[in-house]
Amino acid sequence: MGIDSIADEVLGRIRQEGTYRTLRTLEGPQGPRMKVDGQEVLLFAGSNYLDLAHHEEVTEAAARAARDQGCASGGSRLINGNLAEHEALESELAAFFNQEAALLFNTGYMANLGLIPALVGSGDIIVSDALNHASIIDGAKLSKAETQIFPHGDLDALEDRLAKAAQQKRKVLLVLDGIYSMDGDLSPVAAAAGLAEEYDAILLLDDAHGTGTLGTHGRGSAEHAGLNKDQVHILMGTLGKALGSFGAFAVGSAKLRDLLINTARSFIFSCALSPPQVAAARASLSLLTREPWRRYQLQTNARWLRERLESHGLSCAPSATQIVPVILGENDTTMKVCQGLLERGFYAQGIRHPSVPSGQARLRITPMATHTQGEIFAVADSIAELVHKYAPSRIHATDSEHS
């Protein structure tokens, strides 16, 4: 059977299931307005949460690094690609998170594929939330450790698994997302950290969506929850979301960094991040510290969006962050609403299985810090009108209607 025959067979099943995907083409500078397939729209489908990707300080830092150092690192970090720019950003990230050390990875996905097998292996246990990101799931598979899944956010079930693992005297890695990427809810990280301490488990927090968006200083969901630097043993964050660049990092102890340099395959066998990407991230990290209004406005915009949608009878539960879902259930209905929004000048992506459970297709709406209140209300009102047209059963009575 040739490649085309395999593709026809697999893609035929995908089309039949209603989950066939195509790529949309975006043009213009990253920001609250972009062109999607040639049409100018308000963008509510990205992760450039703080609108730093096209900030003049960030783009100038990247341009300067390209002019001075070139557009590639030239190799892996362990051969010839360990640039002073990498070491500087890692020092700045460690200082920002009040940790001893940091190590860069090329993506958040690659970070988890490297981190998890570096920490546990055959005979060890991984305890993982049922809604953890795909990169955590795949990293766990690569590690060959026994993976025990607990129902999403269920602290009693989590404690049960940790207690049984402790009785077996096996090494245990507890892995959590900080913000769950499809529902926008927060991990109960404070309670989980307490359980990890009680049962002697290592805690790895994937805070890809929390870094820069939560906490008094922007340090993410752990800071937001009031944890100190010692309660999360390893924090993974990304540079390509709130920080407006590209790449990822792990922060923790100096010995963790040394361990990863020597054992994390996705670090060892990858070409290093390019100088423009690293310089852009350094500029964004500086802006994050100097302009706290961005994360405050982001969360204000998210609250305005949730409240406006809820005033129309649309549930955004369990979101408490800048990721705001409106669950519509059926794939076809969700994509009709998504297309209707595009025609009205809004881009909020429809998300279908396997990114979310079957029957849980949804709009995933992500405001930015620089969207105006009028823009927030406009997209919410349009969503409500389209849901009323295509999925009226998803609209519930509001308090004013009950009264």
Kindly list the averaged pLDDT for each block of 10 residues, start to end, along the chain of length 403. Answer: 94 91 95 96 97 98 98 97 98 98 98 98 98 97 98 98 94 98 97 98 98 98 96 98 98 98 98 98 98 98 98 97 96 95 96 90 97 98 97 81 44
Domain count of the fold of the chain:
2
- 356, part of any domain: yes
In the listed set 239, 269, 290, which residue is the last one of a domain according to the structure? 290
pLDDT score of 402: 42
Residues 80 and 26 in one domain: no
pLDDT score of 358: 87
* Contact criterion met (CB below 8 Å) for 42 and 379: yes
Residues 160 and 274 in one domain: yes
Q: Which residues of 216-241 are buried (b: 16+ CB within 10 A; e: fewer)?
A: eebbbbbbbbebeeebbbbbbbbbbb
- Write out the residue range of the structural domain in which residue 145 sits: 56-290
The CATH number given to whatever domain includes residue 327 is: 3.90.1150.10
**Helix, strand, coil share of the chain (percent; to 5):** 45, 15, 35
Closest CA to 121 of 174, 163, 171, 175: 171
Residues 311 and 368 in one domain: yes
Residues 278 and 379 in one domain: no
Burial class (CB in 10 A: 0-12, 13-18, 19+), 193: buried
- 403, part of any domain: no
- Residue 352, token pair as written in the block: 């279908």
* Contact criterion met (CB below 8 Å) for 328 and 382: no
Catalytic residues: 181, 209, 241
pLDDT score of 403: 37
Residues 156 and 32 in one domain: no
Q: Which residues pair with 326 in a beta bridge?
A: 363
Handedness of CA 227, 228, 234, 237 (dihedral sign): positive
The CATH number given to whatever domain includes residue 167 is: 3.40.640.10
pLDDT score of 398: 74
Burial class (CB in 10 A: 0-12, 13-18, 19+), 24: exposed
* Contact criterion met (CB below 8 Å) for 249 and 273: no
Q: Rounded CA gap, 59 and 54, in Å?
A: 6
pLDDT tens by residue, 242-271: 999 999 999 999 999 999 999 999 999 999
- CB-based contacts of 199: which residues, under 8 Å, 6+ apart? 159, 162, 163, 165, 166, 172
In the listed set 290, 324, 343, which residue is the last one of a domain according to the structure? 290
Handedness of CA 261, 265, 267, 271 (dihedral sign): positive
pLDDT score of 218: 98
DSSP 112-148: HHHHHHHH--TT-EEEEETT--HHHHHHHHHHTPEEE
- 329, part of any domain: yes
- CB-based contacts of 18: which residues, under 8 Å, 6+ apart? 331, 332, 352
pLDDT score of 401: 52
In the listed set 290, 324, 345, which residue is the last one of a domain according to the structure? 290
DSSP 298-341: HHHHHHHHHHHHHHTT---TT--SS-EEEEEESHHHHHHHHHHH
pLDDT tens by residue, 274-298: 999 999 999 999 999 999 999 999 9
- 34, part of any domain: yes
Residues 315 and 251 in one domain: no
ω into residue 318 within 30 of 0, thus cis? yes
Residues 315 and 388 in one domain: yes
Q: Which residues pair with 352 in a beta bridge?
A: none
Residues 111 and 214 in one domain: yes
DSSP 239-256: SSSTTSSS-EEEEE-HHH
Residues 34 and 128 in one domain: no
- 135, part of any domain: yes
